[in-house]
Amino acid sequence: MMTINTDALSPPVLITLAGPTAIGKTKTAIALAQHFDTVILSADSRQFYKELKVGTAAPTAEELAAVKHYFAGHLSIHEYYNVSRYEQEVLQLLDELFRTHRCVIMTGGSGLYLDAVCEGIDQLPEPDAALRESVNEMYRSLGLIGLQHRLQQLDPEYYEIVDRNNPNRLKRAIEVCLQTGTTYSSLRVKKVQSRLFNILKLGLNLPRAELFDNIHRRTDAMISGGLVDEVLGLLPHRHLNALNTVGYKEIFAFLDGKMTLDAAIEKIKTNTRRYAKRQLTWFQRDKAITWFQPRQIDEMIQFVEGQIRNLQAE
């Protein structure tokens, strides 16, 4: 393959690799990073937490050794973290990394986090204390399903792409809708913030049946890899938001005696398929993404090299 003189590239390039869960982003990102002699930034908010390894399919020790990773297992579930802090920390880190790497790979399935780094985050109004408390009371009395139904009424467009299992995202969108009298999705249409680096966006997808088969096989591998024991060890902390996610809440229900283990496993597969479809809905709205199948490593490398040549020629 032709070698690109990335030392001559200015401004540098951030290569983003997006896609649904179980698509093979980690393996693909490692192959790209090794080819371009660079590092990987994780944009998977589920993999930020060091206590959540099995249920998030976190990079293995071998994968972490193959290529330097950042933002993977760097937090505790007891720490507060949000997308604004992530944006600031990634931009600061990129400023350092681009001194020694002319391109960097950022990969993950959390579209909000990828967008924050590439485009900036929305400066939305903060609700007053009374409104926030009323939405919190809605959550306490009606639960997650109540939040989901309310958001679907207020903003059906955002409802289709939001992580519906994340109460903080749901509450925030409801607050904005109620305070402004308009939809959260309309206020998220913003001017893209300029960055001091180029951005190349890649996406991974597969035929739906193949993706779902990946999800089923990975779920079974999580169970055989110790997911139940991992969740059992987290029982004292089940109230934390980081644990209100697919793979953990279903096993909590099993441990509570609310369903059999087989039923919990099937529920994980169902909820993961739904989550993958929402991820794809989010990513496919971005026309700047060029799509590949995970097996097309050579094609991705050729595409990136071609784009870098174009940037060098400018």
The per-residue DSSP string of 36-71 comes to: TT--EEE--GGGGBTT--TTTTPPPHHHHHHS-EES
Q: What is the pTM of this model?
A: 0.83
Terminal CA-to-CA distance of the chain, rounded, Å? 22
pLDDT of residue 80: 83
Element (H, E) at 291: strand 290-292
Closest C-alpha among 70, 5, 74, 29 to residue 292 = 29
Paired tokens of 44: 């998977």
Domain boundaries, the chain: 6-121+190-313, 129-187
Looking at residue 1, its pLDDT comes to 39
Name the nearest CA neighbour of 105 among 12, 17, 18: 17
What CATH number is given for 129-187 in this structure?
A: 1.10.20.140
pLDDT tens-place string over residues 253-304: 999 999 999 999 999 999 999 999 999 999 999 999 999 999 999 999 999 9
Identify which of 183, 185, 142 has the alpha carbon closest to the alpha carbon of residue 162: 185
The helix (H) or strand (E) run that includes residue 107 is: strand 103-108
Give residue 183's Cα distance to chain centre.
23
Residue % of the chain over a pLDDT of 90: 75
Cα 110 from Cα 112, distance rounded (Å): 6
CATH fold of the domain at 6-121+190-313: Rossmann fold (3.40.50)
Assign 3-class secondary structure to 152-180. HHHCHHHHHHCCCCCHHHHHHHHHHHHHH
Q: Compute mean pLDDT per 10 residues along the chain, 314 residues long, and list them.
A: 49 96 98 97 96 96 97 94 89 96 96 91 72 89 94 93 89 87 76 88 98 98 98 94 91 97 98 95 94 98 94 77
Using the CB atoms, write b or e for 222-253: b if 16+ within 10 Å: bbeeebbebbeebeeeeeeebbbbbbbbbbbe
Whole-number pLDDT of residue 4: 46
Closest to 46 in 3D by CA, of 74, 18, 66: 74
What Cα–Cα distance (Å) separates residue 144 from each residue in 36, 150, 164, 171? Answer: 43, 10, 8, 10
